[in-house]
Every structure is written in C-alpha cells, then in structure tokens.
Structure 1
C-alpha cells in the first residue's frame, strides 16, 4: 500500500490545499518551543530558594533538574514517534497540556517532593522540539522550512535565558509559586494557538503499530544510564551504585537495540540512521554536546560570578550574569533567520559547520580574555549565534536525509543523544576542573580552567571537520513520488547512502 507520508521532501508545496500563513504557523511553533525552553531554564535560579524554603540539601533540590532531564530524554524519542504516527499537532497539544499538569502538581503540592514530581511530569515537554521540527516540514512550503527551524531554535535559546531572568524577578517580587503559574499559562496559550493555527495531520489509510515493547525497554535503560552518569561526580565513579546503573543501562539498551533490529515497525528504524549524512550528523551533535553545548554551562557562569581574587572570576552578581546571558540570547534569536537562510541555500551541513566554527572562536576568546567583562559579553554573543547556526543545521540535515514520516522520531533520537552526551560532557569537565584547585578552596586553578576550555575548542574543531564530510543535500525531485511502505527503508538507503 502506498503511503504518501513517506515522501522524501523538505516541505509541502506552496499551493497545497488548506495551506495557511507561514508566519502564523512559525509563530505557533515558536510559542510551543518556548514552553519547553522556559520550563528548562527557570528552575536553576530557583534551586537556592528551594533549599531555604524547604530546608532541603542541594542533593535533594537537584532532583528538580534531574527528574526533568531524565523524563525529557526518554520522551523526546517516544513523543516524536507518536507524533509521526498519529499526528504531530495532536501529540504536541497533548504534551503541552500534560506539562500544565506538572505545574499544577508543583503549585498545589507546596513541597519539595511535589516540585520534583511536577518537574518530572513537565519533562514530557522534551518532545516539543522534535515535534516542532516535524510540523515545520509537514505544514510549510519547502523554502520556509529552514527559516522556521532557525526561528524555533532561536526561540529555544531566547526562552531558556529569558526564563532565568523572569524566574529571578518573580522570586524577588512574588514567590516561587508564580514560576509554575506562569509556565502553566504559557503552555495553555501555546496549546490554544497550536489548536487554531496549525493544520491537521495528513490522513493515513493504515497506521503502523506502536512498538510498546521497544518503548518499555528503552525508557528504563536510558534513565539508568543517564542517572548513573549524572551522579558519578557526586557518588564517585568507582561507587557500586554508579557502576551498577551504567552497566544496567547499557545492558538494557543493548537488548533494546537487538529487539528494534528485528521489528518490521520499530520504535526507532535504524535503517534510516544508516546513511552517511545521518551517521555523521549524529556523531557531530554528540561531540558538540560533550563540550561547547553542554558542559560549557558550568564554566561561563563561573567566570562571571567567581570572586576576582581567584585565578578565574570577574566578581559579577547573578543579576549581571543573567542580563549578559539574556542579551546574548536575544542576539542569537535575531540571527536565527540568517541561520535558516544559510541552511536553506547551502544545506544543513553549512549551517552546522558555521556553528561549530563559531563555538571554537567563542572558546578561544574565553582562553585569551576571561579577565575582561567586555570580552566575556562578546563570548556570550558569539556562542549564542553559534547555537542558532548549529541548532538550525543539524535538524536541516535530518530533513535532507530521511522521509517525512520519521522526521520527529529521528530528531528525537538526536535530542536524546544530545542530552546523554551533555551529561557525559559535564562529568568530564567536572573532573578537569577538579584536577588542580586553589589551595584551601574548590576553585580551579588556571591550568584546570585551560584544560576545560581547550576541551571545548577541540570538540568544536572536530565537529567542524565532521561537517566537511557530510554530503551535499540531494536536489528535491520535481514530482516527489511515493515510496511503498514495505520499500521505504531500502529506497532511503539507496538514495542517501
């Protein structure tokens, strides 16, 4: 049976029936991603206040971050697959409404335990970004798709930084409950806009079966692995608990991979990932997450806020740090249409390459000018632009490389890999920063700091080199035909191997 949704195209024709305003669709996608980014960004600044209010140690309040991250990593993949199968608009709205429930639990529970549970429920919003990428491809004409991806990626950066600023203000002028109230209001508004503006999914004559066994195997395996990695610095890498979690996670994921390879309708079709573009794209994003995308978030706040009496530190307040990050995020958002235009004109690999190269430049600036506030403001701005280009480039490579009906699950795989390797990168950099410390403190010496920043530069250069080997995007056929459902994997491999 022919399946129109399996066409390898980069967007719907501009004259397709029911076509809606690209500006409205892009606005709806931006609002949706703001829900996820806002929820992810607000919590960090509130953790010290939670410790005071609930008399809880950092090891307990930190679960508000960990619970969200673990659920988000698993949901990005599962939610993406559900969207590809049953309609991305429907799943997107359901995901955002579930995140509202998480906010309600945190507010009404009025305890640290309730906040942790609520944050875990909010973690389902990890699926929003993959769903937005799939919706952009499904609902927009091909020339508008890279622009939409650029705006959505820029919105993630802006809402994440803006969330920290807004949370800080709310903590000062109101109380912590308002952070979750605002998150709930944003999710409700974004859901309403999505329901009105986004077009419905294409009707399919036959739906594939959801791989429940694959989802059941993947989720605990991924959670065990990520939790073991995140707890490594605190518990010790030789701790039986850490080793047990990591080994158990790897074993479960190995069984899951074997299961997926034997299914006709798997949760993750590894055949789609078995072409050069997608393999290099996955490797490149993973390496980027090991350094300049993930662990760098440890180093840059340290530079601004640590006392200037230490080898590394400018002695700035948290407010100044938030302001610098917010202005930089705005620069990144403004630049996002340019990133989309570059990806549309020269392909995702070009935008990804520019992003990686700019990350190398930003970290070289850190290495040479970390004692200057002006230079550090430039670092934040360059890194924000780098993020806009990189996070526009890698999903554009997905769109250039896989069929439409697996767009969201494939970008979900990349999102999950990014979170997993970010956790690994944080562990690596934490070790680097603790190798040499200032006597009597836990602050890193200049040697430890240089080792960490050198790691960021190395990762950036490796990713830039990888981008050079990603093939040019294939020209879109004038009349895109359908690929029979049973031949989808082999046709994709033949065309894009």
Structure 2
C-alpha cells in the first residue's frame, strides 16, 4: 500500500520531493553557520585596517551573538504562529541587510552594526527544525534533522576557511558580499522548494510583553558573561550586568507562567525528558561544544618548541578543520538514522561518548599530527550526533505547533552556556604557563581536557535517564501486556 502524501500542520498536502525540502533546509542553515563562522578569522585584519583594538573588533562577534540569542526564541515563536517558511525568508532577508550595512558602511562601527542585524540569522536553525517536522513524512524527519545539524558544522568550518582565502586574494568586503549572495540564493531555494503552510487555526496573540522582557534580560546576561574575562568576574560592571539580566529574566519567567498565550510555554520544558535534554545540552555546552574549539587549534598552531604544540600555520589548521567538517557532514545522515531508529537520546548519548573519546585521544596523542587530525574528525562526528539527538528529543516530546520556539530555547541555552564554558576554559588555560611565556603549560591543557571529559560523561549519564520516545515506550508496554496474556491491538501493529 502506498504511503499517504505528507501534510503540513494545517492539513495541506505536501507534493515537494523530500530531497528538495532537505536541500532547501540545509542551504538555509548554511546561511546562519557561515555568518557565524566567517568573522573570527577576519578580526585581526579589521584591527589593522581600522586601527581598532581587540576590545572593539570583538564586538563584531558579540553583537551577532547577543541578537542571535534573542531571535532564536522570538523568531521561532513567530514561525510557529505565522508560518515558518515566511518567517525564514524574512530572517534571511534581514541578514542580507546586515551584510549590506557592513559593506557600504566601510567602518568598524558599520561592521559591528551590520553584524548585529545579521544576528537575526539566529532564528534559522529553530525554524529549519520546525519546517522539517512540518513538511516531511515522519520517517524522513530524523535524516533531515541530521543533515541540518551537519550543515551547521560544515558551513561554520567552511566559513572560516573561505574567509581566510578571501582575505588573502581579495579584501574583507568580499566576506559580506558572499554572505549576502548565499542568503539571497537560499531564500530563493526556500521560496520554491518548501511548501507553503498557512498559520494554524485559532491564531494566538503574540506575547509582546514577554518579548520586550526577554530581549534586555538575555542581552544583559550574555554581555556580562562575555565581558567577564576582560573586566574580571568580580568587577562591578560584570556583576551588575549579570544581576540585571537575571532579575529581568526572573520577572520574564513569572510573566510567562501567568500568561495565557506565552512567548515560551515553560510548562513544556518542565517534563522530565525536556528538562533532562535541556540540562544535558547546557552541560555539554559548558564543556566540549563550547570550548573544545579553543583548545584544539591552539595545540596545532603553538610552536613545536613548547611542551604542547605542533607548529602548524593557520591555513593548515583551517584545512584540517575543513576536512573534519566534511567527515562530520558525511556522518550526519547516519546520526539522523540512529535518532530515527532508536530515538534522539541514543544519538545524543553516542555524541557525548564520542566527545569523551575525543578528549582521551588528545590526552594521549597531542604530540602527533595524525592523532590530532583524528581528534578533529571524531569531534566533528560527535557534534553531528549531538545536533541530530537533542532536537529529535524535542520533536518526540512537544506538540508540532511549538517545535521551533522550543528548539529556540535550547539553542539560546547552548549559546549562553558556551560563552560560560569559554570563560571557564580560558581561566584554566591561564592557571599554569610555560616559564617566561604566556603559553599554557601541559598541566593547564590537562585541566581543561579533564573538564571536557567530566562534562561529556555527565551528559552521557543524563541521556540514560531521558528515556525512550513516548511511542517506543508505549509499544514496549503493549508488547509486555501481550506477553502477559492481555495483549492490546497495538501489540500486533
């Protein structure tokens, strides 16, 4: 019997090919990951061209991050309410505007402003996860989720490599030109390749109060976290921003719990599966997801004369990272298939276990280039499994109508805890240095790697308690009843 045509949340049949839909979603997520990955390698060049200190050029990263953290939630909610395809195209067009501001402003201030506008791309990943669930047959959703996560990995690493090449053969403007072109192309592919979906019946009201409270609360909190290493964690400025941010978010939480149509239904996050999923992702962000990319390039590029260092160039390091990203992207459909067959928690668990293996590899093989190439590859595969696992747990646990906003909550948490993780590891790496240098000593690397390993093992343990997807658990219960002689019809399905 032929499989019935998939339908959108509104009941409209979908006639697009799954391959076309997945391609459109992968291309859309590449916009966000490319924009996030290109800027880091360009910061030193910005400092030279505009005569700006690192404290100023770093705002090109901070501005993007602060806006992206808010738009992941707000954009996800708008997509759930008014149609994810429509909001996705709007978001990508806003990111084009950000690129144009950077190109034609031709100043460090304009680049920072443009990067802030580009931060609207933070909503792309949650929207793509929601669109995968909305537009694809159920059996295709896990593979699509895997490919979307793989695209985030590949485009992020590829963005750094491409940015380096553009800086060498052209100039910095071309980075933003390419980002704008990619966003326009992705918007056209999404417009043609994805089915339209009208907003669900009984359209709720948008929670403007919740959005207005969330924006300054998250901004103050994340700004305090990012400035902690520079200003000092006990400085009045950092403590002030952290206190204001937490206070506003506490008020926001109270409002959301009382609101009839909240921006984020926090009750959905209160279930055991979702709460453990959120905690596990946050812990992993504190460790390897957030800061492993700080340690591994440092090992490759530090002079070979140091206790830890292979003396590689930045270009060679970029090539190693690019090859590893290709490996991770190739593993993404496998990760999606695992999530589809055994549930999101299994893929998440395997990702955490691979991160643990990665850190053991670094501890034992940090002096060997082949071993470190293996580290990059295994870490990329681990990331692919994690990015297939945690959104699949969301898809298994929440109604379709709140998929994007819920994955947006997890994306925001991942970003916030990654910032904390980078700060923690930066402190660890500076605790013990090679005499007469600022380079981390072997003991500092071991401390950071021990932290990564601990976080990975904690997450693996948490995944064991997330439990099987409700459908699998229900089927297992029916089969058990059948074995006891009280079989239900579902036991024979």
Task: Name the TM-score class by shorter chain.
Answer: over 0.9
Tell me if structure 2 keeps the 8 A contact 1:83–1:91. Answer: yes
Question: What SS does the aligned partner of 2:206 have?
Answer: coil
Aligned to 2:479: none
TM-score (normalised: structure 2): 0.93
Question: What SS does the aligned partner of 1:56 have?
Answer: coil
Alpha-carbon shift at residue 168 of structure 1 (Å): 0.7
- Specify which of 91, 97, 102 is matched with residue 98 of structure 2: 102
Q: In the superposition, relative to structure 1, how do residues 477 and 83 fare at CA in structure 2: closer, same or farther (>3 Å)?
A: farther
2:365 and 2:33 mapped to 1: Cα distance? 30
Render the CA deviation track for 1:39-84: whole Å, top value 9, x for unaligned: 0010011011101111111111000001001110111011000000
Tell me if structure 2 keeps the 8 A contact 1:305–1:316. Answer: yes
Tell me if structure 1 keeps the 8 A contact 2:7–2:14. Answer: no
Aligned to 2:236: 240
Aligned to 2:435: 439
- Specify which of 9, 17, 20 is matched with residue 21 of structure 1: 17
Question: What SS does the aligned partner of 1:272 have?
Answer: helix
Count of matched residue positions in the alignment of Structure 1 and Structure 2: 468
Aligned to 2:300: 304
Aligned to 1:398: 394
1:72 and 1:244 mapped to 2: Cα distance? 22
Alpha-carbon shift at residue 12 of structure 1 (Å): 5.8
Tell me if structure 2 keeps the 8 A contact 1:11–1:136. Answer: no
1:205 and 1:235 mapped to 2: Cα distance? 50
Q: In the superposition, relative to structure 1, how do residues 135 and 238 fare at CA in structure 2: closer, same or farther (>3 Å)?
A: same
Task: Give the alignment of 1:374-453 within 5 angstroms.
Answer: 374-453=370-449
Alpha-carbon shift at residue 18 of structure 1 (Å): 3.3
2:432 and 2:170 mapped to 1: Cα distance? 41
1:439 and 1:226 mapped to 2: Cα distance? 34
- Specify which of 44, 58, 61 is matched with residue 62 of structure 1: 58
Alpha-carbon shift at residue 477 of structure 1 (Å): 12
Aligned to 1:231: 227
Aligned to 1:263: 259
Aligned to 2:186: 190
Tell me if structure 2 keeps the 8 A contact 1:102–1:119. Answer: yes
Question: What SS does the aligned partner of 1:99 have?
Answer: helix
Alpha-carbon shift at residue 307 of structure 1 (Å): 0.8
Q: In the superposition, relative to structure 1, how do residues 347 and 300 fare at CA in structure 2: closer, same or farther (>3 Å)?
A: same
Task: Give the alignment of 1:45-60 within 5 angstroms.
Answer: 45-60=41-56
TM-score (normalised: structure 1): 0.92
Aligned to 1:481: none
Tell me if structure 2 keeps the 8 A contact 1:11–1:137. Answer: no
Question: What SS does the aligned partner of 2:243 have?
Answer: helix
1:16 and 1:380 mapped to 2: Cα distance? 43
Alpha-carbon shift at residue 197 of structure 1 (Å): 1.0
Larger RCO (CA under 8 A, 6+ residues apart)? 1
1:158 and 1:33 mapped to 2: Cα distance? 10
1:476 and 1:282 mapped to 2: Cα distance? 21
1:294 aligns with 2:290: yes
1:477 and 1:409 mapped to 2: Cα distance? 26
1:182 and 1:11 mapped to 2: Cα distance? 35
Alpha-carbon shift at residue 149 of structure 1 (Å): 0.3
- Specify which of 346, 354, 360 is matched with residue 358 of structure 1: 354
Tell me if structure 1 keeps the 8 A contact 2:8–2:197. Answer: no
Q: In the superposition, relative to structure 1, how do residues 203 and 268 fare at CA in structure 2: closer, same or farther (>3 Å)?
A: closer
1:16 and 1:109 mapped to 2: Cα distance? 44
Question: Which blocks of at least 5 consecutive residues in structure 1 are unaligned?
Answer: 1-9, 479-497
